[in-house]
Each structure stands twice: as C-alpha cells, then as structure tokens.
Structure 1
C-alpha cells in the first residue's frame, strides 16, 4: 500500500485538482492532510496548485475562507478567470462565455446538473456561501461527463471530512443597490463535524442560505433605423423609448453531506442539494413614435462618413404612437439533487467506485402584459443624445392614468420540467511494477433525462371592452421607476406589477369580459426522453523523453444517445396531430493530455480532445406548424418547427501551454488554443416538400463549420519581500485574444456572435496583519451581438464593457471578519448600436452595489 499509494497528501492534491472522480476524492484523505484555506494568498496558492497538477487545462477560484469569495455569485466569480466573460443583467451576472463562445456545460460536484428543461445549471441558483471552489475546464478527459464544446464549469461544495474537526460558520450580509434604492439581507450558515466511532469515521455537514435582492436595470433605447424621405436620405430611428426593469428575488438553498469511512480502504457518502427561487419582476416599456416624413416636423442631422443621420426631430402636435406596457413576471423555480456512492480499494492496486444521482427541477412563469396608449395630440421632441435615444413631451402629463386607454392584454404563461436518473461505475488499476504505465481506468455511465415544456395558446388578447382608462380599475395605476440620465421622459403611467400578478382575472374581466385565462398551446408542447450510455477507458503514463520527465493520459469515451420525442403538428387550419419520433447517435470522443516537466517549476502541456454539445431539448421538437396554402399567393407558404434529426455540435480542441511556477503563489502561464467545430447549430429557412406541397420552413439545422484560435496568458505574484506594509501587495493579471468564425448559409464567414477578440482582468490584492483588500478591473472588447439584426441589414454591435469591483476586510479575531465590498463602481453603461455609433440601440445601466458582510466561524 505504501509503495503504490505513497502519500495521502498526493492523493489529496489530485483530489483538489479534480483528477479523481467525486466518488473517490474523500476516500484518500485523512486528518493530517486536510487543507483549510484562509486568506487571499493561501487561496491563490491552492488555485495555482490545482492548475499545476491537473491533467487538463483548468483554472480555478478557491474560497479564501468558508463563505468568502471575492464576488457575490458564481457567475461573477467566473468573470475573473482567464478566457471567461460574463454579462450582468437582472441584478446580477448571468450569461457566461468561455473563450468567446457559449456551449458551456455545468457540473455540480462532478455531476451533471440542470435547471428545468435546460441543458445546464443556472449558476445564479447556487449561493457562494456553500462553495469550496469553482473549476473551469478548457479541455476534458475521458472520465468526465460529456458536453460543452467550449468548456466545463464544475461547482464544488464543502464536505465534512474536508475539515479537521467540528466547524460552524455564519455569514451575514446586507447590500444596498443604488438605482433600486433598496437594502437587502443575505444569510448563510454551515455546520460540520466528524467523529471516530466503533464502525469507523463519520462526518456530517449541513448548509443553509437565504438571499433577497431587489434590483433595478434601466434602458434608454432607440428604435430601428429607417431612411427618411423628408429630409431625403437621412437615416434615423422611427421612435425611441424606455425599458425599466425591477425585480424582487428571493432565493433559499440547502445542502447536506454525510460521509462514512469504515476503514482506510472504504468510504460511502450521501449528498443532497436543493434550491428554491421566487422572483416577481417587471419590464415597463415606453414607446414613443416619431412623426417621420411629416411636413410639420423639424429635423436636424449630423454627418458622418458621408452620410446624414438623425440628430433631433420635433413636432408641435403629433399623433404618433405613445404606449406604456407593463410586462409583469412571476417566476417560480425548484430544483434538487441527491447522490449516494462509495469507493473501495479492493487491493493495494485496484479501486472500485460507484454513484447514483437523482435530479429534479421545475420552472413556472406567469407573465401578463398590459398595453395602454396615450391618444391625445401632443408636442414631441426626440433624437440622439449622450449616445442613446431620447424622447420628450413638453407640457404633457404622462403620469395621469386617466389620459391613457387600455388596449390589450398578452396573457402569457409557460412551464418546464426536468428530471434525471444517473448511475456510473468506475474501476482503476495501478500496476505494481510502476513502469511507463501508471494506471488503467475505465467506467460505465447510464443516464435517463426527461424534459418537457409548454406555453400559452394565442397570448394576444385585444380589448373587447374599449375606451377604458386604467384608473377605472382601483389598484392598477402606478408610475414607472425613474430613469437616470438625460434621455427625456423620466417617468410615465405604468400598470402596477403586483396588481397584474395578483389580480389577473380582474384585469381580464375589465377589458375582455371574462376572468378565464388561456390553456396551453398544444403546438408548443414537447416531451423528450434522452437516454445516454457511455463507456470510457483511460491510461495514465509517465516516461522520460530526452531526459525530460513526461506524464499524462490518453483515453476515449464512447457515448450512445437515444432521443424519444413527442410533439404536435398542424397544417394550415387543420387538426392538431401528435408526432412521435425516435433516433439515436453514437459519438467517439478521444482525448490526450501530455505534460512535460522541463524543470521542477517549468511545465509544458499538449492537450487534444474531441467534445460534443447536444442541442437544446426544444430544438428536437418534431412538431411543425405550416401556413395555409392559398391559390392567390404566388410565394410558397411558410412553416416553423424543430428538427429531431439534429446531430450534436462537435469540437476538436487543441491546447499548447507553457507554465512557469516560480513560487508557491507566483506563476506566469500562457496557452495557445485552436478549436475546429462541426455541425454548428443554426436556424435557417429552407424549402421543403411536405405532402407534395413546397413550404419555406424555418427550423434548426446542422449547417455550419467554424474555427476558433487564440492565446491566453496569466500572471500571479505576491511581494512579501517588499519593505514594511508594501509586503502585503499581490497582483493577478490575465488576458485573452480570440479570432475565428463560422460559415454562414450564404457561404460568407463571420466572427462568432458574442465574442470579444480581446479581454483582460487586472486584480490588485493586499493582505497584511488583520487587513486584506482587493480591487478588480475587467475589460472586454466590442463584439457583434447579432448579425443582420431583425433582418434590417445592420449588425447589432456592443461597445467595450468595463467593470470595477473592490472589497476590503478586517479580521477582528481568528473567528470574526468584517468585509465592505462594492461592484459596478464605474456605473458602466452597456451600449450597443446598429452598425454605426450614429444609429444607437440601447444604453443600459445597472445597480451599483455596496455590501457589508460579517463572517463568524468556530
């Protein structure tokens, strides 16, 4: 045993690096080798050790202490990692791309995890108070769950045997959001203990988190560009407006973990995680149409690049559309995952492990939308100001609800469900002679995933009782939140979100004459049972090449995926017809990881692997909705649908890295990467013959090839040798350059939507005595959000995004720490435009957040 597994500490390091499966991590640790991370410098050391010892290309963020991460949620954490970018919206960071692309899969303690009918876990569902670390894999090994052509995010929580003995921690936090004008609490707690008993060592851990966040996002938008005829040739918006987004999010999460180690060779565990999220929110839209091409309108222009663009437009008596729309949402989400498993070292050279996982997730949304219009003639002025669209109505009282008329109710709802059963078994054998071959391992995985979705039938319901003002319904009349900035109209009448959500039937009765809601649309419905069977084999090797030690692994994963999908179809006004389709696909995923130790502190890597990304479940929907065939229309009728014959997207990924670890917490690393994609998923229209009739059908296809290449570099160092208080300084810097693109259906090539070619993070750290501080600045280059936006012939381009966050902590005692932090300190605006800056689209601003946290542990 001592020869084959010489040091428990080595195994603990491999476990921290993610090189051992979740079933085997804890079986090889004992009290003497548990690492308790505290402080920025030790957290940096742990993350660096994970990267240095990992087989794959991986970057990590490790907790500085229990419940202490440098950001508030997982998505914001990831924005600090090399090659990862995030977008903040709805009060927190949400959307994530790795090396400029989506296609990211999420794991929870190494297991597949998801939200409702989605492929991945919504990372904002997991509170940071529970986290031990987050690993971002840029490459995958044969033993890892397949999925994610651009990367894998593995969220890791604490377990009881991570600690030397009993551990109790409480995190209290209050945060203030400036635009929402609210201060909200966040509470988290963890308790853990371990005992030596007559049947072995037992550990128990429980964690609980409750958060509330009331947020305010705001947008001043400019309408789609049109070409004016008066004056001729001027390009400008056909109207401007506002979107005021507010919400009240309540999130509660709990996790449990139990470990039983009857002897040195066996361990069994059970874990559970559950989250509940309730959000009441609204988007309040204001639409102000412009009197374009009206002879009574006055238009001024600016000239750029030889073209004239709208500067201002005004009219003393206009009757263009003025609309207020309250889009209320009540979101209800529940998710849980339970796992049981164990490991057994049958002999000094043979290890077995097995795990069973059950996951259930449910999502519901009610989304009534009330539209009202202002009908009286009014003076108007509008145009472009401060890089965005402004519109104003001098002398007009837009707050008075009696001046507005309710015209329609969009009666939306949707619901999605997801569940999965997942089993895996693994075996690993280490030969006794310890030659070139160090380990052979393999395993099986069976998973069955069910997903379903449906939304409302015919959501648009025009008012049948006309001429009603909102003031005719007590409790329905509110005023929109105020917008910041010089964009004209600041506030206006808006239907009350709470009344719309709590009394939807009363609103229906008032303007439709009925309290009845809408049934599900059978054409939106689908169910999908996806069954995957996977087998993998992997060999770990080590040898000398020209005097240079080389180690690594080579493996292959073979996955067979079977879809059983049910949907509904309809042609014209004909009956709804059920459609059931089955199909299967087999993917062979080879991988190779080689690491050369040129010196003890200088490591080179060559990593190659093939990865797949399955389409969204809704894309497989076999249902097709076809338009009516009429003899008077010379064009082919249209249709929409899913595509049950979709293949997974494929990526062949190559990484070449050189890493210099000049101290325990100091490193300089660089990675060149190249990804070749096949079967890219895109929506397009194509002519199809169905029952002898030609249709122009819009559906997803495997159409495109794509390439991505680039380079990422990172530098980290602390400076303890500096004199005096300067010895507490440290710095982290990383930068990424990306290029490449996809082939469009017309044969042209574009860069990937959402990909910034360059991005970087600058982080300054300080830790000395009881004080610690951190300042983090992130920058990403402009990128194309959407090509040919809405078919207008313009690309929607997003300007560079810059964020600044900071925190400072003071440790009163070893058990009590207070932290003051702030995010979005620059009050950075998200700004996009239609092709050229003179044709703006949105100026979006988000809350600036200041938080005060108290952490106590014992």
Structure 2
C-alpha cells in the first residue's frame, strides 16, 4: 500500500509517465506482501518517508538519477541546495564565503542547474546559482547523471533540477514557519533567518483552484582566513638551484550577506483533464565583504640568512633586515543582485491516450558591484619567516609595531566597478501519445523549444591610481584605519592595520578627488560585451518494451536537435585603439539518447544508458575584448603578458555511457552500483599561449578548446534503516556512497588529469529516527585534486607549477525533537571538525596556503499546520 501511494504521489507531481505508473502498479502487487511486512511495525514519517520517496524516484526513472526529497513541507537537512547536494553519490561541493557554493558531478564542472525543469539564465551564466535557493522552498532536488531527449540541452557532467512546491502537492490548507538563529565562531556573530509558506486549494463550481506563497530571509556573517606562500622561485642568486618564496602573507575575509527569496504558484483545474498554472521565483542578495590582504616581502638581499629543509634545496626559514616591502590592502566589494523568473503553462489530457502541454517562461537578472581597493605601505626593518608551518606560512616583524599608524604610508587606490544584465524568453510545447502496453512501441512523444537570451556586461576603465605626492599622513585622517581581523591560527603576526571598509565606501568620491579623479570612470570598452543567443530545439522520443524470456525490458530512445545562433558584440584592440567586433555563428547539434531497464527480479534492476550532450560556454568567455600589458615579462625578452576572451569557442561535447545494477531489498533499503564513461571533445580550459598582436608577441591567457578527454569510474550506493533491530536500536539508518574516478585531457599531445577531479570521494550519513527524536551525522571526503595546471610559469630549474589541493573532509551533524504534531526544534552544527583547506605548489612541503572557515551552530524552531 505504501509503495502504491508513493507511486501515485510521484505520478501526480509529473515524475512518472503513465507507462511507468502502470508498470509499477503491476510490480507493487507482486511486492505487496513483502512491503507490508516490512513497514507494518514502523510508522513511515520524516527521514524514512523522504528516503523512501527518493528511492522510489531512482527506481522508476528512465535516467540514472539520485534525488533528495524534503522530509516534510519546507524541511530539508540543510539550509540551501548546494549544502544538500554534498550528500549525493558522485557530487562534491566546495565551501567558502560562509556557505557551500561550487558544485561538481563526477569530478567535472560541466553541469546545468534548472528550476522546475527550466533554465535560469543570468547575464554571464546559464545556470541557477544553487546557494540562492533556501531549502524551505523545496519539494525535492533531482541529480541526473544522464539526460533524456525531452530535457533542456546542456550539462555534459549532469543536470541538477531543483523542484519547488505547488499547491496541489498538498491535500488542502498547509502552512509552515521556520525560525533559525546561527552562531559562527570566527566571525563571532548571531544571525537570524526566517522562512514561511502558505498553501491552499479550493473546489468550486468552475473547477479546483490552488495558491501557494513562500518567503524567506537569511542574514549571514562569515569569516574566512588564509595564510600563504608565493610560488617557489630562484630567490638565491648565488645558487640558482635553491628555491623558495619571495613573499609570505595573510588574508582574512569578513562578509555579510542578506538574501531575500520568494516563490509563488497558482494552479487551476477546470476538469480532471485540464490544468493551467502560473508560478515564479525571485531573489535579491546584498553581499558586502572585506578581504584584508597583507604581503610581506622576504627581502632577499645581501644580508639575508636562510636554512633549508634537511636533504633538500628548498628553503625553510628566512631572516632579512633593511628597508623591507610590506603591503596592507583592503579589498571591499559590495554586490547587489536580483533575479526573477515567471512561468505560465497548461497541461491537457485530450484523450485517455493523448496529452499535450505548453509553457512560457521569462527570466531577468541584474548585478552590480562597487569594488574599491585601498592600500598602505608598511615600513618594517626586519622580517623572520618560516615557509611551512601547519600548511601555511609564519612570519613576524621584530621591533615594529604593525598596529601603529606611524609605521604606514598611503599607497595605491584601485577603483573597480562592474555591472551586468541578462534576460531570456523561453517557450516550449510537448505532446505524448500512449500506444498501449501490449505494443513494442508503447509511447511516442515530441516537442519544440524556442529560447532567446541576451546578456550585457561592462566594468571600469583606468582603475589603478598610484599614490600622488603630498598625501596626508595615515594617522591624520580620523576613522581611516582599523586593526585587521585577528588570525585564529598561530602564524606569527596576527593583526595589522587596514583601511576600514566602511570608510572606503563612505568616502569614495572624496578619496577619488584626493587621487586626482572626479567621480566614477567610464566603462572600459574592452570589457563591454552585448551578446544574443537564439536556440531552436526539436525532439522526438519513444518508449518501448518487450520480454527477454522471463525478464521484462523497457527503455526509451530519443533524439534532440538543437540549432544555436550566436551574435557576439564587443571591442578589440587594434594599434592601441578600440575597434568594434561583431561575430555571428550558427551551428546545429544532434543529441541522441538511449535507455534500457531490465527487471531481473522483483527487487533487482539492470540499466544501460548512452547519449550525447553539449555544454555551451558561459557568455563572459565569448567576450572579444582583451587586455594587453605594456611592460616586458623580463627586460629584453620582447614578450608581453595579455588576457582576453574567445568569441570562437565551441561547445563542449560529451558522449556518455552508464551501466547500473540496482537492488531494492526494502522500501528504504537499496544497494546500487554504476559504471560510467564519458568522452569529451572541445573541453574548455583557460591557458597560456603565444600570440602576435599588432606586431608584438604576447603570452595570452584566454579560454581555449582542448582536443579531447575521457572520464570513467564507478559509483556505489547503500541505504538502509535497521528496523529489525530491537528497541531503540531500530531507529538507526545508514546512507553511504563511494565514487572512484579517473580521466585525462589531451591538449595538443599533452595529457593531464581534469582540473578539480578527485579520484576518490565518499559520503557516510548516519541517521536516527524514533519517536519524537531524529538526528544525523554526515561525513564527506574527497581525495586530493589539481586546482590549476601550469599555475605560474617560473623560469628553470623550478619550471611550470601545478596547484594541488589536499584531501577535504567535512563533518556536519543535527538533532531534532518533535514537540508535537505542529512544532519541532532542531540543533545543527556545520563544520564540526573545524576543517581546513590546504593547497600546495607541486609538492606538499611547498604550500600555497591554508584556509580556515567558520564553525556554524544553528538552532531552528519549526511550526507547521
């Protein structure tokens, strides 16, 4: 009964096709005795119900998919979508700036994120920024490792579809209110968060109506700290085989993020065969932060003394005296962004076997940033440094008070600003015909999608202003300086003076005048781009089925054809002057997809999926503008540095195959294994290459297509609640998964691993639910990976340097108590193990930096009706 109910709910939500529902009904009858026996002694609620729903989605999907389903309306185990995804098989996340942000699937960043199956297009990106969606709005999150022909194209690594609730998801009136306060240990702040949702449905003489409104507000302070080494270099002129850093430094970031989000949905069913709906989502983010940066030059003069690590030519400690270079820089960006999406659509069951649907969506986004950087020079006379201490660098200035304004003078002013806008219109129509379960071809479907996207971006010109003569003394300007945030780790100098972030923005125009500038500068023409992309897509798909002896087999075959017309506009530099550039391209991609699923037994399923996918570059990479250096990389070399975009970029193409075996031994018990292989063409990396521009030779950094690449691996997943254990032990459950990956890119004969790919990653999630209590402890691990290849081009004997990241471990925990049917309380801890992020130059004893983040303790009170 419970399994049938889950299937019915999924069908109503649009997850399962009619053919899948009928097939599952047949299997549900065969499994009824076993399923009823397993659940008869357990009330399936909360954590178990969410796990059971997620397992049912995976079992019945045509594609290779993993899902996370809300335990109840507005109740997910984490506070934003990116945090939730860290628990999914094959998914890894990186945390910074107070929250999880970067998400990759199977070690690769080439993924598309959708909202309710729709593209969320911004001015530079093609995907929804997952941290912008609070989990209080969610019904579920689906992670597709393979793609059907009916899905929006994009995502060579996979697709993440974020699904919000609709009023018809509930039986009648429903309301929830979540209040939360969280404490962060390094920023030492207590921040409020609140979210609420109200939904209802009404039956009238003209049909059934439903309406839902949700609102959310989050405030979050955070503090990240870094201590770092510059890349190893030939610092000792008398012995060029000795290597060490030229600079050591600290960097602390404090920030405050205010995020407002809202979603709404209306549904109307004049009859059982017709539904009309409208829904939308909006978010606004104000994000203010300061990065307090300190550079301490090691001097490297005739009086410098140093020691080496035993048995190496690598520098360990350094002591220098003299007029030493030291820089305090406060980088204080203030970001303001808004995104809105609205959609209207209809679903019509024309006959029992014919269904049609259509939808129109519009998305708009606007982002702007004010980003002043104000610098001061410090004037110490002695530095004592150690290049490797606990994954970072330790240095101090004996005899100099680094908090005394008298030891500083004003330095450069970097006056940055930027702005971008984007909008898209998206229309699609689909038709499905059910041909009957008795035929080989059981279902036919097809559709069309038309999308138009526009994007524009610009930033400042002439942002660097050197310190003019006659600037006032640092100590003569009231309110100018503040002590930097203190370092939580023991790395020598723990604080220094910085120009206060509040002072920078409050006195920005006066500061510009002091440096000889009136007001904000005009846009840099080389940064300006205005792009338009039109996409026309058609697809056709059939669902088929047959019996291979006693084994029923069902599958799908589909083809999506996508024509993309791109119109890129910007400026390029010719003879030192901006010249307008317009580049128009048009290409057509054919994307076939095949799925097959064999039901070997009532509980054992085998799958095979193969298909082709594309991932188009983000719009900012197409920018034809370029920045060209005016100083030779070394005297007399005739070589200059430059950077730019690439309007000739091709989309990344992926040809993917997955083979899976899935054993569903209980409604909330499964053991799954998937072997996958991806082959890529035209993978995009930012790299250096020599180019001749206006008769000069430049070492240009720009995004480029590499030849090809291959990724392969295996995923294992296990889920079970141990209801058979006696007493309170029966409340325990375990979710665990492991992913092994290996792969490489071939760039003109040079073979390298994928940047950002860990060979090993696993998650262990211990669950407990019994009576009013529930809890979880989640452990996430990913092995080391290369962040950037050829990070810095250093002269021999050091040679090219790769930036490598140490393994990352994260532990989170939560404990909930259900006070009554309407009220519950949750205590959770993020970063329980006080994780650190360590990266290094080629070898671990040559660190670049160590990064430390806040430990977050949250207390939530949740009411529902």
TM-score bin, normalised by smaller chain: over 0.9
Determine whether 1:192 maps to 2:205: no
Deviations 1:417-455 (CA, angstroms, capped at 9, x unpaired): 110000000000112573111110000000000011111
Root mean square deviation of aligned Cα: 2.2
Compare 433-442 and 681-690 and name the one that shifted more: 681-690
Q: Which of 270, 276, 279 is 1:262 aligned to?
A: 270
Question: Deviation digits for residues 611-665 of structure 1, max 9, x if unmatched?
Answer: 00001212222345667899x9885777654333322100000000000000000
Which residue does the alignment assign to 2:318?
A: 313
2:729 to 726, 730, 753: 726
Q: Which residue of 2 aligns with 1:477?
A: 481
- Residue 252 of structure 1 and its aligned partner are, at CA, apart by 0.4
Q: 2:246 aligns with which of 232, 238, 249?
A: 238
The correspondence for 1:568, drawn from 564, 567, 571, is: 571
TM-score (norm 2): 0.93
**How many angstroms does 1:508 deviate by?**
1.9
Q: Deviations over 1:400-420 (max 9, x none)?
A: 223211111110111111100
Distance 1:223 1:686 in 2: 23
Which residue number corresponds to residue 29 of structure 1? none
Q: Alignment partner for residue 287 of structure 1, among 287, 295, 320?
A: 295
Query: Cα distance, 1:791 vs. partner?
Result: 1.7
1:655 has 2:658 as partner: yes
1:739 matched to 2:739: no
| 1:545-564 alignment runs, 5 A limit | 545-564=548-567
Question: Following the alignment from structure 1 to structure 2, what is the Cα–Cα distance between the partners of residues 19 and 647?
Answer: 35
Q: Distance in 1 between matches of 2:106 and 2:391?
A: 29
1:130 aligns with 2:137: yes
Q: How does 1:396-411 map to 2 (within 5 A)?
A: 396-411=400-415
What corresponds to 1:30 in structure 2?
none
Distance (whole Å) between structure 2 residues aligned to residue 485 and residue 616 of structure 1: 38
Whether 2:584 is the aligned partner of 1:582: answer yes
Shift of 1:473: 2.6
Q: Distance in 1 between matches of 2:44 and 2:722?
A: 20
SS of the aligned residue for 2:57 comes to: helix
**CA apart distance, 1:686:** 5.1
State the partner residue of 1:32. none
780-789 or 655-664, which deviates more: 780-789
1:61 equivalent in alignment to 2:68: yes
Evaluate the alpha carbon distance shift between residue 725 and residue 684 of structure 1 in structure 2; reply closer, same or farther with a 3 A threshold.
Answer: closer
Instruction: Give SS of 2:333's match.
Output: strand
CA distance in 1, matches of 2:45, 2:289: 38
Deviation of the 1:598 alpha carbon: 0.1
Q: What's 1:857 paired with?
A: 864
The answer to whether residue 49 in structure 2 is matched with residue 42 in structure 1 is: yes
The runs of 5 or more residues in structure 1 that have no matched partner are 1-6, 25-35
| Deviation of 1:579 (Å) | 1.4
Q: Secondary structure at the match of 1:149?
A: coil
Q: Secondary structure at the match of 1:369?
A: strand
Change (3 A) 1:611 1:11: farther
Q: Does 1:809 align with 2:816?
A: yes
Residue by residue, what CA displacement relative to the aligned partner does 1:116-167 show, whole Å, maximum 9, x if unpaired? 3212111111111111111110000000000010010101111000000100
In the alignment, is the contact (CA less than 8 A) between 2:572 and 2:580 conserved in 1? Answer: yes
- Picking from 415, 418, 432, the partner of 2:419 is 415
Q: Which moved more, 1:706-715 or 1:400-409?
A: 400-409
Please give the alpha-carbon distance, in whole angstroms, between the structure 1 residues aligned to 2:573 and 2:289.
Answer: 34
Aligned partner of 2:762 in structure 1 is 760
Q: Distance in 1 between matches of 2:563 and 2:843?
A: 47
Query: Helix, strand or coil: the match of 1:767?
Result: strand
How many residues were matched structurally? 831
**SS of the counterpart of 1:509?**
helix
Task: Single out whichever of 791-800 and 133-142 deviates more from structure 2.
Answer: 791-800
Could you tell me how far apart the structure 2 residues matched to 1:553 and 1:160 are?
Answer: 31
User: Can you give the 5+ residue segments of structure 2 that lack an aligned partner in the other structure?
Assistant: 22-42, 795-799
Deviates more, 1:555-564 or 1:633-642: 633-642
Contact 2:6 2:56 in 1 (8 A): no
Structure 2 matches for 1:772-851, cutoff 5 A?
772-792=774-794, 793-851=800-858
Structure 2 equivalent of residue 704 of structure 1: 707
Aligned to 2:505: 501
Secondary structure at the residue paired with 1:224? coil
* Aligned residues of 1:222 and 1:390 also touching (Cα < 8 A): no
Matches within 5 A, 1:153-164: 153-164=160-171
Aligned twin of 2:128: 121
- CA drift of 1:38 comes to 4.5
Contact 2:673/2:715 (CA < 8 Å) preserved in 1? yes
Q: Distance in 2 between matches of 1:738 and 1:290?
A: 41
Contact 2:536–2:563 (Cα < 8 Å) also in 1: yes
Q: Which moved more, 1:492-501 or 1:514-523?
A: 514-523
Q: If the length of structure 1 is used for normalisation, what is the TM-score?
A: 0.93
Secondary structure at 2:318 match in 1:
strand
